Amino acid sequence: MSRVSKREEEKVKSRIFYKLIVVALFLAIVFLVLKFAPNYINNDITDKPNLIINNSNVTSDLKKDVIIEDGVIYISKEDIYNFFDPYIYYDEKYNQIITTSEKQVTSMVIGEKAMTNNGSKVETSGTILEKNDTYYIPFSDLKDTYNVEIKYIEQTNTVVVDSINRKYVLADSKKDTKVMAYPTIFSRIVDSIDKGETVTVVQTKEGENSTIDGWTKVRTDIGKLGYVKSSTLVNEFIKRNTMETEKQINGKVSMMWDYYYEYSSVPDRSGQVINGINVVSPTFFTLVDEGKGQVSDNAGEDGKKYVEWAHSNNYKIWPSISNNSYIETTSEIMRDYNYRHDLIENIVSLVLKYNLDGINIDFEYMHDEDKDLFSRFIIELKPRLEEIGAVLSVDVTAPDGGEEWSLCYNRNVIGDVADYIVFMAYDQHGVSSEEPGTNAGYDWVKVNIDKFLGQEGVKPEKIILGIPFYTRLWEENNGNIEKYTVDMKDIEKVIPSGVEKTWDEDLKQYYVEFVENGVKNMLWIEDEESIKAKLSLIQEYNLAGAAYWEKDREPETIWNTISQSLGIE
C-alpha cells in the first residue's frame, strides 16, 4: 500500500513539473512575442507621399499632406514653418509669401509663376496653391533658398530633402543584405541591398554614424530607412562635411560706440590705439525722415579713413544706423515690405561701399504695435548681411518699460535671428524720470539680464551688455528737479572738495550728496569700480561681451580696466 502511494506521488510530481515547464515555455513565448512582435508591425504610410528630412521620416508629423503636381513638390506653409522657416510670413498688402533662410530672402506673389530671391526675380516651375484655406508652397523651387537637395522617388512615393550644410556620408555594402526596421534580426525587413550598392549612412546630431549594438542606420536609394549590420558596410566616405560658420570675434566682444552729430565730421582717430576693444561702431548712418527706406550717409571720405584706421588696428567696424527717433517714418517703413526691402538694399550697399564688417541697428522710440514688423525687418535683413559676411547687432532697451521705449521690441525673436542683441543697460533713471536715481545700478542691470535670459528667452552668448560712460547730476530745489548729464571723465570736477562718498553695495557705486547755493545735489558715480562690477556680470552669465556709450566721455584709465576684465589686449 505504501509502495503504490509512493508511485502515485511521483506521478503527481511529474505532472506538476511538466505543467510548470509548459507554463514557463508559454510565458517565454508570450514574452518574446510581446517583445519582438512590434518590430514586425508594418506602420509604413502608403496612402500619401512620405517626406524624409535629413534622414528622418516626418510624414506622421505633417500638418498637411505633401502634394506632387506636374512634377512640382508642394509643402504647406504650416509645415514649412515647422521644419524649415519659423518666420515664414504672409504679407497681406502685396498678397505674397515671404520666407527666409540663412542667406536668402524669397518672396512669392500668390498666383505668379515667379519669385524674387535676394532682390533678383526668377521664374519658377510652380506657383503658390491655395486649397482649403491652406497655402501650398512650390518647395522644389526653393532648394537654393533653403540650401537643400530635393529628390522625389516615384517608386516609393517619397520626397527626400537633405540640407547641404550638414554632413553627408555614403558607404557600400560588401554583400547582399536585408535592411531591417529595427537594429535586431527579430525585425521586419524594409528593403534589400545588393553587394556593391551604395547607401546613405545616417548621422547623429554630433556628426557621427548612427549605430546601435553593431547595427548602423542607413537610407537606401529608394528612400527606405532602416538598419544593417555595421560589418557589412565598406568604402565609407564623406561626400560633404558639416559647414561651420566662422565667427568674426573669438572670445568676448568689446564694442566702442563712436558718436558724432549727423551734420558734423567723422572723428579723426588716426594714430590712436585703444586697449580692450575689438569692435568700433561709429554713427555713420541715419534714416531720412519721410524717406521711405532711404539712408543718410554721414561717412564719406572721412568715413573711409576711419574704416582704414579701424582695420589697421585689427578692430572690426560695425557702424550704427539710427532711426533718429523718427517714429512715424520708422512705422511707415516697417509696415510696408517694399520700403523694408529698399532700406535693406541701401544698408547692404553701404556695407559693400565702405568695406564694413557689420551693422548695428539702433532704432529707438517706435510704436509698440510695430513690434512684430520691426522683427520682420530684422528677419529680412539678417540673410542679406549673412550673404556678404557682415554681422548684425541690434540695440534694445530693458524689458517691461514704456510702450514706445521698451515694449516695441520682441527680444526673443531679435535675439534668435540677429548675431547679437545689445542691451542698453543705462537710463535706469533717465531724462524723463521724475525722481532722482542712479543711471545704471548693478542690481537693476542684473535683474534685467535675468529677464533677458528668462522671460525673454534670449541665449546668453547672444547678449552684449551696454555700459554707460556717463551719469547724471540731480538738483532738487523747493521740490523742483533738474538733471544734467555728466561724463565719467568730468565727475570729479562737479564734486566739491571734502564731500564724502558713500558706497552702495546693491548699486555697486558711490553716491554723493551736497548743497550748493541752497540747492541739493545728488550724484550716483560711474567710475572704474562701478564699471568693473558691471563687467563682472559678463563672466558670471557668460554673455557675449560689452559695448560702451560713448567714446570720449571716459577717463583714459577705464580701457585698462576693460582690457583686464574681458581679457582683451
Q: Are residues 125 and 144 in the same domain?
A: yes
Q: Are residues 264 and 388 in the same domain?
A: yes
- Under 8 Å between Cβ of 228 and 218: yes
Report the distance separating Cα 310 and Cα 261, nearest Å.
Answer: 20
Domain with 213 in it: 166-240
Considering the domain boundaries, does residue 284 fall inside one? yes
Considering the domain boundaries, does residue 69 fall inside one? yes
Say how many C-beta atoms besides its own lie within 10 A of residue 389's C-beta. 13
Of 240, 269, 303, the residue that ends a domain is 240
**129-172 confidence digits (pLDDT tens):** 999 999 999 999 999 999 999 999 999 999 999 999 999 999 99
Say how many C-beta atoms besides its own lie within 10 A of residue 124's C-beta. 17
Considering the domain boundaries, does residue 38 fall inside one? no
Q: CA 423 from chain center: how many Å?
A: 16
Q: Are residues 380 and 293 in the same domain?
A: yes
- Under 8 Å between Cβ of 519 and 227: no
The secondary structure of 277-297, three-state, reads CCEEEECCEEECCCCCCCEEE
188 pLDDT more than 60: yes
Helix, strand or coil, per DSSP, at residue 333: helix
Considering the domain boundaries, does residue 277 fall inside one? yes
Q: Are residues 334 and 229 in the same domain?
A: no
Q: Residue holding cell 584709465? A: 557
**101-121 confidence digits (pLDDT tens):** 999 999 999 999 999 999 999
Best CA proximity match to 358, nearest among 376, 382, 375, 377: 382
Q: Are residues 258 and 217 in the same domain?
A: no
Best CA proximity match to 377, nearest among 328, 410, 423: 410
Element (H, E) at 312: helix 300-312
Helix, strand or coil, per DSSP, at residue 498: coil
The whole-number pLDDT of residue 538 equals 98
Q: What is the DSSP string of 31-82?
A: HHHHHHGGGG------SS-EEEETTEE-GGG-SS--EEETTEEEEEHHHHHH
Q: How far is CA 267 from CA 272, 310, 355, 393, 550, in A?
A: 11, 12, 18, 22, 12
The whole-number pLDDT of residue 9 equals 67
Q: What is the DSSP string of 450-496?
A: HHHHTTT---GGGEEEEEESEEEEEEEETTEEEEEEEEGGGHHHHSP
- Under 8 Å between Cβ of 451 and 469: no
363 pLDDT more than 60: yes
**490-525 confidence digits (pLDDT tens):** 999 999 999 999 999 999 999 999 999 999 999 999
Considering the domain boundaries, does residue 536 fall inside one? no
Q: Are residues 234 and 257 in the same domain?
A: no
The CA dihedral of 130, 136, 140, 144, to the nearest 10 degrees, is: 110
Residues 6+ apart with CB under 8 A from 318: 255, 279, 280, 281, 356, 357, 358, 359, 360, 391, 393
Residues 6+ apart with CB under 8 A from 231: 214
11 pLDDT more than 70: no
**476-486 confidence digits (pLDDT tens):** 998 899 999 99
60 or 30: which carries more pLDDT confidence? 60
Q: What is the CATH number of the domain that holds 111?
A: 3.30.457.10
Of 127, 151, 175, the residue that ends a domain is 151
**32-59 confidence digits (pLDDT tens):** 454 555 666 677 888 999 999 999 999 9
- Under 8 Å between Cβ of 528 and 557: yes
Considering the domain boundaries, does residue 531 fall inside one? no
The whole-number pLDDT of residue 13 equals 64
Q: How far is CA 406 from CA 278, 367, 394, 415, 416, in A?
A: 28, 10, 14, 15, 18
Q: Are residues 87 and 232 in the same domain?
A: no
Q: What is the CATH number of the domain that holds 173?
A: 2.30.30.40
* Number of independent structural domains in the chain: 3
- Under 8 Å between Cβ of 396 and 424: yes
- Mean pLDDT across the stretch 330-347? 98
The whole-number pLDDT of residue 242 equals 86
pLDDT-above-70 percentage for the chain: 93
**422-480 confidence digits (pLDDT tens):** 999 999 999 888 899 999 999 999 999 999 999 999 999 999 999 999 999 999 998 89
Helix, strand or coil, per DSSP, at residue 249: coil
The whole-number pLDDT of residue 212 equals 95
Q: CA 531 from chain center: how many Å?
A: 28
Q: Could you tell me whether strands 279-282 and 105-109 are parallel, antiparallel, or unpaired per DSSP bridges? A: unpaired
Q: Are residues 263 and 352 in the same domain?
A: yes
Cell of 315: 578692430
Q: How confident is the model at residue 84 (pLDDT cuts 50, 70, 90)?
A: very high
Q: How far is CA 400 from CA 420, 427, 434, in A?
A: 20, 14, 18
Q: How confident is the model at residue 26 (pLDDT cuts 50, 70, 90)?
A: low
Q: Residue 162 forms beta bridges with which residues?
A: 149
Report the distance separating Cα 540 and Cα 210, nearest Å.
Answer: 37
Considering the domain boundaries, does residue 68 fall inside one? yes
Q: Are residues 318 and 257 in the same domain?
A: yes
Indicate the DSSP class of residue 176. Answer: -
Q: What is the CATH number of the domain that holds 331?
A: 3.20.20.80
Report the distance separating Cα 562 and Cα 544, nearest Å.
Answer: 14
Q: Are residues 356 and 254 in the same domain?
A: yes
Of 120, 151, 182, the residue that ends a domain is 151
- Under 8 Å between Cβ of 101 and 115: no
Considering the domain boundaries, does residue 6 fall inside one? no
N- to C-terminal Cα separation, the chain: 106
Q: Degrees (nearest 5) of the Cα angle 71, 73, 76? A: 150
Q: Which of these ranges, 177-181, 251-255, 431-435, 437-441, has the smallest mean pLDDT? A: 431-435
Q: Are residues 132 and 233 in the same domain?
A: no
Q: Which of these ranges, 13-17, 110-114, 240-244, 407-411, has the smallest mean pLDDT? A: 13-17
Q: CA 199 from chain center: how many Å?
A: 33
- Under 8 Å between Cβ of 307 and 355: yes
Say how many C-beta atoms besides its own lie within 10 A of residue 269's C-beta. 18
Q: How confident is the model at residue 65 (pLDDT cuts 50, 70, 90)?
A: very high
19 pLDDT more than 60: yes
The secondary structure of 133-170, three-state, reads CEEEEEHHHCHHHHCEEEEEEHHHCEEEEEECCCCEEE
**199-212 confidence digits (pLDDT tens):** 999 999 889 999 99
Cell of 43: 506602420
Q: Are residues 229 and 313 in the same domain?
A: no
pLDDT-above-90 percentage for the chain: 88
20 or 53: which carries more pLDDT confidence? 53
Report the distance separating Cα 546 and Cα 565, nearest Å.
Answer: 11
pTM passes above 0.85:
yes
**Whole-number average pLDDT of the chain:** 94
The whole-number pLDDT of residue 1 equals 45
30 or 78: which carries more pLDDT confidence? 78
